[in-house]
Amino acid sequence: MGARFRGDRGQAFPIYMWMVVSLLFVALAFFAVGQAGAARNNAQGAADAAALAGAQHMRDTAPWDDLADLTWEDWEDILDGRGLKTAGACEAADAFASHNRAAVQECDPALAEVWVRVQNNNGVGESVVPGVSSTRATATATAEIKPRCHLGPKPDDPPDPPDPGDPPGPGDEDPEEDAPLPPFDIECAGETVRFDPLHPGLWKDLARNLFAVQLVD
């Protein structure tokens, strides 16, 4: 009986070892899946942050060197999100992606949106799955610059300049054909912002009232 028991134990040992190795492989495979998931999450976080940074740059950049030169129609375009500058948006997105150990591979700032494709700088890492250790996760994101305001009543147009053949009247000694708009109201979610083109202040401060920046699903 003793010899038979020792023989059974010897036959069971390889099965036991096979089960242990199998369980270890399954555990490592789950770990590899976790690594890949973490890499994707990191890439998505970097993409979201990069898209938001690019859109915020567009929002915070003055649409014109001199806001006093803008017409009423220009302001209508701006408040609809059609007149914002796209220059520098992709650079801002890439700079922010680098803080998250990633880089922007593609970037498309168009009208009031910034779309980016981001890739992690580092690979997934050592894995039991062949050929994936150097694979770098990628992700895409889009951020929208959403208008929050609209123009109030249009101010009265400045008087037409006098005809050159007419004698100058009081106050007509130096007429300005392209006079800037007088101060006007911008309506934002029930609040009124009074804007004076001749004294605009910081565009960034105004823009944060005019537009919200958010990710697009």
C-alpha–C-alpha distance, residues 147 and 188, integer Å? 9
| CA-only gyration radius of the chain, Å | 32
Question: How distant is the alpha carbon of residue 17 from its chain centre?
Answer: 53
Amino acid (one-letter) located at 41: N
- According to the model, what pLDDT value does residue 128 have? 44
Residues 131-145 pLDDT 10s: 455 578 899 999 999
- According to the model, what pLDDT value does residue 175 have? 46
Question: The sheet that has 184-188: what strands, in order across it?
Answer: 149-151, 184-188, 191-195
Helices (DSSP H) in 61-106: which residue ranges?
72-79, 89-98
**Residues 187/150, Cβ–Cβ less than 8 Å:** yes
Band of the pLDDT at 7, cuts 50, 70, 90? low
C-alpha–C-alpha distance, residues 177 and 80, integer Å? 27
Residues 19-45 pLDDT 10s: 655 555 555 554 455 555 567 888 999
Give the Å distances, CA to CA, from 128 to 33, 36, 67, 82.
10, 12, 60, 51
Question: How distant is the alpha carbon of residue 39 from its chain centre?
Answer: 20
Residues 145-191 pLDDT 10s: 999 999 999 887 655 555 555 555 554 544 445 688 999 999 998 88
Q: Residues of the chain with pLDDT > 70: what percent?
A: 67
- According to the model, what pLDDT value does residue 10 have? 57
- According to the model, what pLDDT value does residue 155 have? 83
The tokens describing 3, both together, are 């010899």
**Residues 145/124, Cβ–Cβ less than 8 Å:** no
Give the Å distances, CA to CA, from 101 to 29, 43, 176.
25, 9, 54
- According to the model, what pLDDT value does residue 117 have? 96
- According to the model, what pLDDT value does residue 1 have? 52
Average pLDDT for the chain: 79
Task: Find the helix or strand (DSSP H, E) in which 2 lies.
Answer: helix 2-60
195: Cβ contacts below 8 Å, ≥ 6 apart: 183, 184, 185, 186, 206
- According to the model, what pLDDT value does residue 217 have? 74
The tokens describing 168, both together, are 């100058």
- According to the model, what pLDDT value does residue 122 have? 85
The tokens describing 79, both together, are 């408040």
What's the rounded mean pLDDT across residues 191-209? 90
Residues 36-83 pLDDT 10s: 556 788 899 999 999 999 999 999 998 888 888 999 999 999 999 888
- According to the model, what pLDDT value does residue 75 have? 93
Give the burial string for 166-202 (b: 16+ CB within 10 Å, else e). eeeeeeeeeeeeeebbeebebebeeeeeebebeeeee
> Has residue 91 got a pLDDT over 70?
yes
